[in-house]
Amino acid sequence: MVKHRLSDKIPPHFNMFILSLGVGVTLIGASSRTPLSSLGPLLTSVQENLQLTNAVAGSLTAIPLLIFGVLAPLAPSLSDRFGLEKVTFFSLLVLTIGILTRVYPSLTLLFLGTSLFGIGIAICNVLIPAIIKQTFPTEDRIDDGGIWTFYEYLCRICLRY
């Protein structure tokens, strides 16, 4: 019995979908890591400009991690209830709004933006691998961990220079 691969059945326009998915995953990887890792080196400057105590400044780095721990387990049930693509789209929208909100020099908006991007990252980190697994069956997919590691290092290199 001859086993057919998914790639034998893919229409030609599907290649553009694969390219779009790859670019999308790369952009999501870049946008979800940068807001979290960029605050550390700037924390002293932010603390001085907004006149924050050490405890308040430290909580800015802790809030996203707490949100990850609370919301990441809820992402699959949100996906089941509302749909994988819709939840991913809205979490990316929340992530974008959170990043843009942190730009304004206000303590309230800084905490709001930090919380919003924490929500977006927590949900995206769970659902993006599910989208990849749903789109590409096991026999046509290479190691998912290798892809994520590659994208993370690529984004770090691009953002460093």
Q: Is residue 78 within 8 Å of residue 123, measured between CB atoms?
A: yes
Residue 70 has pLDDT above 70, yes or no: yes
Per-domain residue ranges of the chain: 33-160
Residue 11 has pLDDT above 70, yes or no: no
Model pTM above 0.85: no
Q: What is the per-residue pLDDT for 77?
A: 94
Average pLDDT, whole number, for the chain?
Answer: 77
Rounded CA gap, 74 and 69, in Å?
A: 10
Tens of pLDDT, residue by residue over 25-46, are 667 666 666 677 777 777 888 8
Highest mean pLDDT pick, 14-18, 22-26, 65-69: 65-69
Highest mean pLDDT pick, 4-13, 32-41, 97-106, 131-140: 97-106
CA dist 56 → 40, 46, 64, 109 (Å): 14, 11, 14, 14
The residue that leads in pLDDT, 82 or 153, is: 82
Residue 80 has pLDDT above 80, yes or no: yes
